[in-house]
Structure 1
Amino acid sequence: MKASVIMSTYNAEEWLEKVIWGFSVQTDTDFEIIIADDGSGPKTKELLEKLRKEIDIPIIHVWQEDAGFQKSQILNKAILASNSDYLIFTDGDCIPRKDFISVHLNYREKGYFLSGGYFMLPMNVSMAITKHDIVEQNCFNTKWLIEKGLKKSFKTAKLNSSGFWSRFFNFITPTKATWNGHNASGWKEDLLFINGFNQEMQYGGQDRELGERLVNKGLKSKQIRYSAIVIHLDHARGYVNEETWRKNFAIRENTRKNKVVKTAIGIDSNLK
């Protein structure tokens, strides 16, 4: 198996189903899906049982009890459950373009991690996307999206970029190639070495902090935001609060200042 796709979710079955359908039509299908479930109710498990009968990609459900926003911990548990040496991370609200897996696999290289982006959709367009639109890739067609209510913008060019132009845009973009949880990938051995995600961190920068420790380890990053394309479905973010942001910012400051490589509370705290 070439890769394991790890995606986080929490009580968002409608969005999660759309995302999994996106992975079911990938041009390269030699991968597994690992659902990092941060305490969803039984409807998520029921959905996954249904989808296992409808698609050919293996689906592994890693679940933990709901104890508030504990995404870092469930991602670490998902890393331990993975069965390949290359891990691709995304979220259960990001539908991948059909070449998403092949792009990550083509760009992977020892000593590097990959940094992708996303294209944010408004709620009305997110709701309009059906299984048919995913299978036929209508949801990556600029004209179709505008017909469904998306406002015209120069940013839509990202959705159709490929070949020379995607490589060119990756090269000239001023955006730094950071670890972005919705679209990033790396070697499992590197993630295990740094002890995975810092479980002291809740929402706000925990993905970036992991990437900063990978850099402290000596890794470099590749920019693929115009090559590995996902569309981000809209949703509320009730878990955001200022206190958590301040705490996470202080942790990241310490990681950068002291060149921290291994987090003290990470993957190894989940080993039995």
Structure 2
Amino acid sequence: MRISLIISVFKNTLFLNTVLESLRYQTVKPDEVIISEDGDSQEMREFLGNYDAGGLNMIHLTQEDKGWQKNQALNRAIVTASGDYLIFIDGDCVLHTHFIQNHARLASPKSVLAGKRIKLGPFFSEELQREPLPNFQRKVLGRIPQLRKDGARFIEEAVYVPLNPISSTIIRLLGISSIKGCNFSCFKTAMLAINGFDEDYVRPAVGEDIDLVWRFKGLGYRIVSVKHLAVQYHLYHEESWSSQEENQQLLRQKQASRQYRCINGIEKLSLV
């Protein structure tokens, strides 16, 4: 099984550097890394042009910056991917050393694996960017009071549970109801079955994760939890969050249509 790791980015090369450095410590390496840039910045080109990939096969995809067009960029990455199996992350999410291994070990043709992330505060984010990943992940849970003081959120998601038949069964039974666009995986055939991401969504959130859930389920795919098995550390940054009412209204319209294979996706389908 060939694995394509797809990383969504927008200009922030400092964060991407830390994410790429975490790949050096992975117990299983991806067969290719696709940098899916929603834009075409000179800074990103220069950074990746000078980055020592250490033998990783890296592909950088760009597109004209026309505002938020992440879904379009991701669809281009899916088409480009040579892997049978796709793992989706964001360029501000650093991966636990067993992240790729556990996604790969739990892969199943009719399953979509969904994980979570701890959102670090500014101090711990800077620390993670300075020191080797194994050192950080080994001691982070021993500093819960400091994490709270630093403003970390979802601290429980930093708990890593070694993968074995018992742990995977318990976590699967606990279930998960959502997909985070920064931490999910599936076979490429699953993404092609739903025609990829719906490009009608031109604002962040909903279209890059929530919209996927009902469409996957409508075609018989299971959403399977990998919480605590595929841990991520989200680097701190200011968030500019706008109203999601427009996205939610669009979602309701699409759910009413029961169009599990979106019209404006990888293939541009006819409404007829």
Tell me: CA distance 1:50–1:145, structure 2 relative to 1, closer, same or farther (3 Å): farther
Tell me: CA distance 1:251–1:150, structure 2 relative to 1, closer, same or farther (3 Å): same
In the alignment, the residues of structure 2 paired with residue 72 and residue 60 of structure 1 have an alpha-carbon distance, to the nearest angstrom, of: 18
Amino acid at match of 1:254: Q
Could you list the runs of 5+ residues in structure 1 that have no partner in the other structure? none
Instruction: Tell me which residue corresponds to 2:89.
Output: 90
Listed as ranges, the matches of 1:1-272 within 5 Å are: 2-51=2-51, 53-130=52-129, 132-134=131-133, 136-139=134-137, 141-142=139-140, 149-151=146-148, 155-156=155-156, 158-163=158-163, 166-167=167-168, 170-171=171-172, 173=174, 175-176=176-177, 178-201=178-201, 202-206=203-207, 207-238=209-240, 240-242=241-243, 245-269=244-268
Q: What is the CA deviation profile of residues 175-213 of structure 1, one whole-angstrom value per residue up to 9, with x for unaligned ones?
A: 42x222110001111211211111111212111102221
In the alignment, the residues of structure 2 paired with residue 116 and residue 140 of structure 1 have an alpha-carbon distance, to the nearest angstrom, of: 20
Amino acid at match of 1:161: V
Matched residue SS, 1:127: helix
Tell me: CA distance 1:55–1:145, structure 2 relative to 1, closer, same or farther (3 Å): farther
Q: What is the CA deviation profile of residues 4-58 of structure 1, one whole-angstrom value per residue up to 9, with x for unaligned ones?
A: 011111111110100011112211124211111011521111111222x342211
In the alignment, the residues of structure 1 paired with residue 159 and residue 121 of structure 2 have an alpha-carbon distance, to the nearest angstrom, of: 15
The answer on whether the counterparts of 1:166 and 1:226 sit within 8 Å (CA) in structure 2 is: no
Matched residue SS, 1:29: coil
Aligned residues: 263
Identity rate of aligned residues, in percent?
26
Tell me: CA distance 1:79–1:11, structure 2 relative to 1, closer, same or farther (3 Å): same
Q: Structure 1 residues 209-218 or 89-98, which shifts more?
A: 209-218
In the alignment, the residues of structure 2 paired with residue 140 and residue 264 of structure 1 have an alpha-carbon distance, to the nearest angstrom, of: 46
CA RMSD of aligned residues (A): 2.5
In the alignment, the residues of structure 2 paired with residue 155 and residue 174 of structure 1 have an alpha-carbon distance, to the nearest angstrom, of: 19
Matched residue SS, 2:267: helix
Q: Structure 1 residues 182-191 or 245-254, which shifts more?
A: 245-254
> Greater helix share, 1 or 2?
1
Could you list the runs of 5+ residues in structure 2 that have no partner in the other structure? none
The answer on whether the counterparts of 2:172 and 2:224 sit within 8 Å (CA) in structure 1 is: no
Normalised TM-score (structure 1): 0.87
In the alignment, the residues of structure 2 paired with residue 42 and residue 140 of structure 1 have an alpha-carbon distance, to the nearest angstrom, of: 36
Q: Structure 1 residues 123-132 or 163-172, which shifts more?
A: 163-172
Matched residue SS, 1:190: helix
Normalised TM-score (structure 2): 0.87
| CA displacement at 1:169 relative to structure 2 | 5.8
Matched residue SS, 2:233: strand
The answer on whether the counterparts of 2:34 and 2:59 sit within 8 Å (CA) in structure 1 is: yes
Matched residue SS, 1:254: helix
Matched residue SS, 2:126: helix
| CA displacement at 1:111 relative to structure 2 | 1.0
